[in-house]
């Protein structure tokens, strides 16, 4: 009788320990672990706390205690509940096999967070490889759990899986494609977190937040987040602005269309007015000297003259060269594009000294504000399509002229 009570007392102690273990760990042990790890001041330790690795670890203690305690107990002594204890032991083992990968995933997540801000993470696909490891662990744990429940060898299950290879390939098609795509994306250094990318086919334009095994997250400029398969980078054409960001300058490439009818040679009055500009005063003097020497040549039938469009082009270039917000180490030019039905395109091609979007737009706007306001000084005109008011005014003037002639 005494032996009977001792056996059941042992069972009560086992169940009490299994139930109380998580509470003891969370309330008594975990605060001390946090205190010690905070003193270490290591990023990996703080991230283990942030992903609740230690908190989650406490819930694996009950099945561990039950499993190892029941293994050391002679279950044959418990005739009435022997089968129940065997079932409980098997369930505890099953829970451990399933729960252990969850803890490993949390540990890998802490590693991912620790390396996320490092240069090593930027250069190499740590996140992708960690996701692949998580996937392998999940598959292995499922196979082991099935083998444990069926009380069979894993090799028997694996040999059966070989026969179902075609089905598995179909099921994990996206995962395999994502894995291959992510490896090619990283090995080719096509994209990385923090890159500004643009995919016109998918109407995506924004910053890469995450490059994973299956998907890529992109944050658009309106703060919306788009998720799409990694394999799309191998199927579609996309633009990566990383080199622009790393170069330290962002390109300005914009045309101003000049009305051809406003282009002319400089007369003395206009030459004197333009010569008063300090930016191109030296340029005009040099050009005049050069033209004077060439015009002395008696063999030449024509004479060269300065034009308002040429002086205006020189003025813009000098203005850009004197602008502190323009990168002088990168290409800078003002050039004429081929004449078209609208007029003569004058292209400004330069790079700002910053890659920040807001600053870039402000710099570009200030430059073109000044250029457009300066055009009239050179007695040039900018082409603009006539509006309905312009046409109405022209017809009214034409009608008034006709009445007057009559």
The verdict on 229 and 209 lying in the same domain is: yes
Give helix 308-321 / helix 268-275 axis angle, nearest 10°. Answer: 0
**pLDDT value of position 403:** 47
Tell me whether residue 170 is in a domain: no
User: Does 394 map to a domain?
Assistant: no
Q: Are 339 and 276 within one domain?
A: yes
Residue 355 resides in a domain: yes
Co-location of 28 and 151 in the same domain: yes
Separation of alpha carbons 303 and 289, rounded Å = 13
> Would 357 be classed as within a structural domain?
yes
- Low-confidence spans in the chain with pLDDT less than 70: 1-8, 10, 40-42, 74-82, 116-126, 128, 154-172, 175, 186-188, 297-302, 390, 394, 397-406
- Please give the pLDDT value at position 119: 57
122 and 192 in contact (C-beta within 8 Å)? yes
Residue 26 lies in a domain: yes
The per-residue pLDDT for 107 is 87
Would residue 8 count as lying in a domain? yes
Domain check: are 155 and 107 in the same one? yes
Predicted confidence at residue 405, as pLDDT, reads: 42
Q: Indicate whether 366 and 275 sit together in one domain.
A: yes
State the Cα–Cα distance between residues 374 and 364, nearest whole angstrom.
Answer: 15
Q: Give the chain's end-to-end CA distance (angstroms, integer).
A: 137
**SS3 at position 259:** coil
- The pLDDT, as a whole number, for residue 22 is 82
pLDDT digits (tens, 9 = 90+) for 123-132: 555 676 777 7
324 and 350 assigned to the same domain:
yes
Q: Does 400 fall in a domain?
A: no
Total domains, the chain? 3
pLDDT digits (tens, 9 = 90+) for 116-150: 656 555 555 567 677 778 878 887 888 788 887 77
- Decide if 398 is inside a domain: no
**287 and 371 share one domain:** yes
- The values of phi and psi at residue 211, to 5°, are -115, 105
Domain span including residue 230: 178-240
**Interatomic CA distance for residues 116 and 112, integer angstroms:** 6
Pair 6, 46: CB distance under 8 Å = no
Give residue 344's pLDDT: 94
289: tokens are 């000297």
């Amino acid at each position: 009788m005494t032996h009977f009570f001792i056996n059941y007392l042992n069972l009560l102690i086992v169940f009490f320990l299994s139930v109380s273990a998580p509470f003891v760990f969370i309330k008594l042990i975990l605060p001390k672990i946090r205190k010690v790890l905070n003193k270490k001041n290591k990023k990996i330790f703080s991230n283990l706390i942030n992903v609740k690795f230690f908190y989650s670890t406490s819930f694996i203690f009950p099945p561990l205690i039950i499993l190892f305690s029941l293994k050391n107990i002679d279950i044959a002594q418990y005739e009435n509940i022997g089968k129940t204890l065997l079932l409980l032991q098997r369930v505890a083992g099953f829970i451990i096999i399933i729960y252990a990968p969850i803890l490993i995933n949390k540990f890998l997540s802490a590693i991912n967070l620790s390396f996320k801000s490092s240069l090593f993470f930027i250069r190499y696909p740590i996140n992708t490889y960690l996701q692949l490891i998580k996937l392998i662990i999940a598959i292995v744990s499922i196979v082991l759990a099935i083998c444990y429940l069926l009380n069979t060898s894993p090799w028997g299950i694996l040999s059966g899986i070989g026969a179902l290879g075609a089905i598995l390939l179909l099921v994990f098609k996206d995962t395999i494609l994502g894995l291959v795509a992510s490896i090619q994306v990283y090995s080719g250094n096509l994209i990385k977190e923090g890159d500004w990318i643009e995919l016109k086919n998918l109407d995506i334009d924004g910053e890469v937040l995450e490059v994973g095994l299956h998907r890529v997250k992109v944050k658009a400029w309106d703060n919306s987040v788009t998720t799409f398969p990694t394999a799309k980078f191998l199927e579609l054409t996309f633009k990566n602005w990383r080199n622009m960001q790393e170069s330290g300058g962002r390109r300005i490439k914009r045309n101003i269309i000049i009305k051809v009818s406003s282009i002319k040679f400089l007369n003395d009055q206009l030459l004197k007015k333009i010569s008063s500009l300090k930016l191109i005063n030296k340029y005009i003097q040099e050009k005049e000297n050069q033209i004077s020497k060439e015009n002395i040549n008696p063999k030449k039938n024509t004479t060269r003259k300065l034009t308002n469009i040429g002086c205006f082009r020189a003025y813009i270039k000098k203005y850009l060269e004197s602008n502190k917000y323009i990168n002088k180490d990168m290409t800078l030019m003002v050039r004429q594009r081929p004449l078209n039905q609208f007029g003569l395109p004058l292209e400004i091609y330069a790079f700002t000294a910053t890659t920040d979007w807001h600053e870039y737009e402000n710099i570009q706007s200030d430059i073109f504000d000044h250029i457009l306001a300066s055009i009239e000084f050179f007695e040039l005109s900018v082409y603009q399509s006539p509006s309905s008011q312009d046409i109405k005014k022209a017809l009214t003037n034409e009608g008034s002229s006709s009445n007057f002639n009559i």
